[in-house]
Structure 1
């Protein structure tokens, strides 16, 4: 019973933007798009309330949560009318011996990737971390967000590179990779490809409406007027939609910060076409990138 389609990404990489686009595409063109509409078209797979309901319990420990992921995803697959779009920031891994993403229930996934150099500043603001703290989290193979008593159960991110590779280097189900930068530079072409991957009929007028309705300026203005439920309480700026730029790392990161990201994630960055400003400092990057390409080609 494969019915689930995942919208996956590392945090602050464009997952919410993609959800807005898909939600706006599905609505009537004569209706004003509201940012909260995304919650009606896309489901979070990590809501603690859903786990408690499926388990019929008032509280759960983390091993119990991990063991319930199949039942939760199966419940969603059986009770929600397609298309079933599930948001997640989880890496596609196992935890406590249980797969976080159940392949037997999954039709496919859209994976949104963003230059990790740009992720740093946005992630730091969202989580209320320093730049050093955000880089440390992105380089931590045991990093997770959420918790057993939080609104969202634990989501296991691992390092930024591991997150990307767990979603893109398997053949369990089809995965369509979208670069945030391409969505920014060529939204019509990039979003059209996503719709084709989903098997949705592409209506040019709906596509244009979706892109206009979910423009960054529109989303930012709506948040300023009435707030946004997904804004982190830890956010330093107090905003979810901050600038939406690409290449902003040139203004926010020091050479030392850049080197910390590139030395850890350079091969995956290079594979996905991200410029490596410190590439000359590590001659092993090209070899490792070549190995990544071979692994993906051989799947």
Structure 2
């Protein structure tokens, strides 16, 4: 069965994956980049038997791939950026294969600046990325659709995961990692342990070490020294860009122009009010 680590792109998914990897895949909670491979991405090449050159074909096999995971009788953490919906009637996942999900949401006014950096977008392209209900992503420079994910718009993505009740979910706000770090990470461990029917208490020392070694500043320093496999390549000079870029220093009040801010707030008014962003 699968425990999903789900989010819209640039919302803190890798941050949570790093923390979970440190807590669940080490003895003392000490993080290392190699650990993140324990929480892979879905959809991805490794979960399908052959390449597909279009979305229609690969979407037929999303559930087949998850069925194989279930048959192995293991609980698997998987990262995803897919919305929790259907593509032409074909579900991304169902309760038959999903034990639960952790959904990370982030203020879209801060997401857009991260999206601009990650994908080398200008304001107009980044805004279209967040608002287009047909937005999808796949591995860059590849004709293989095994990595393709349907995002839809930021608001549709959020609603697809949080408004459905097909399996248990925990909503985490990215901003709480800065203001309520310990309690937020503790809640994640309690939720995961409950899903897995683990009866032991949260290991406080291990929790604190996992938080300490996955601090954004620490991750950024590790990337500077060691590099990071998931860092994107620039479309301009083809060099690797910085993955752990601004973190909590990414503040829309200092980085976002007034016109783009107004358009985002108008487009996502209801969801932003619901989440306390407006």
1:242 pairs, out of 241, 245, 250, with: 245
Q: CA RMSD in A?
A: 1.9
**Contact 1:65–1:153 (CA under 8 A) maintained in structure 2:** no
Residues 135-178 of structure 1: CA deviation (Å, up to 9, x unaligned) = 11101011100167348521011110000000000111111000
Deviation at 1:60, TM superposition (A): 4.6
* Alignment correspondent of 1:227: 227
User: Is 2:116 aligned against 1:124?
Assistant: yes
Deviation at 1:202, TM superposition (A): 0.8
Q: Structure 1 unaligned runs (5+)?
A: 277-299
Q: Distance in 1 between matches of 2:110 and 2:247?
A: 10
In terms of mean alpha carbon deviation, does 116-125 or 146-155 score higher? Answer: 146-155
Q: Structure 2 unaligned runs (5+)?
A: none
Deviation at 1:256, TM superposition (A): 0.3
Partner SS for 1:132? helix
Give TM-score scaled by structure 2 length. Answer: 0.90
**Contact 1:36–1:228 (CA under 8 A) maintained in structure 2:** no
Q: Distance in 1 between matches of 2:234 and 2:150?
A: 19
Mapping 1:136-285, distance limit 5 Å:
136-146=128-138, 149-150=143-144, 153-198=147-192, 199=194, 201-234=201-234, 238-245=241-248, 248-274=251-277, 276=278
Deviation at 1:58, TM superposition (A): 4.8
Q: 1:62 to 1:193 in 2, by over 3 A?
A: same
User: Is 2:7 aligned against 1:4?
Assistant: no
Q: 1:8 to 1:58 in 2, by over 3 A?
A: closer
Q: How many aligned residue pairs are there?
A: 266
Deviation at 1:257, TM superposition (A): 0.8
Q: 1:80 to 1:146 in 2, by over 3 A?
A: farther
**Contact 1:124–1:130 (CA under 8 A) maintained in structure 2:** yes
Structure 1 segments (4+ residues) deviating >3 Å:
57-61, 234-237
Q: 1:156 to 1:4 in 2, by over 3 A?
A: same
* Alignment correspondent of 1:47: 44
Give TM-score scaled by structure 1 length. Answer: 0.84
Partner SS for 1:104? coil
1:88 pairs, out of 74, 80, 84, with: 80
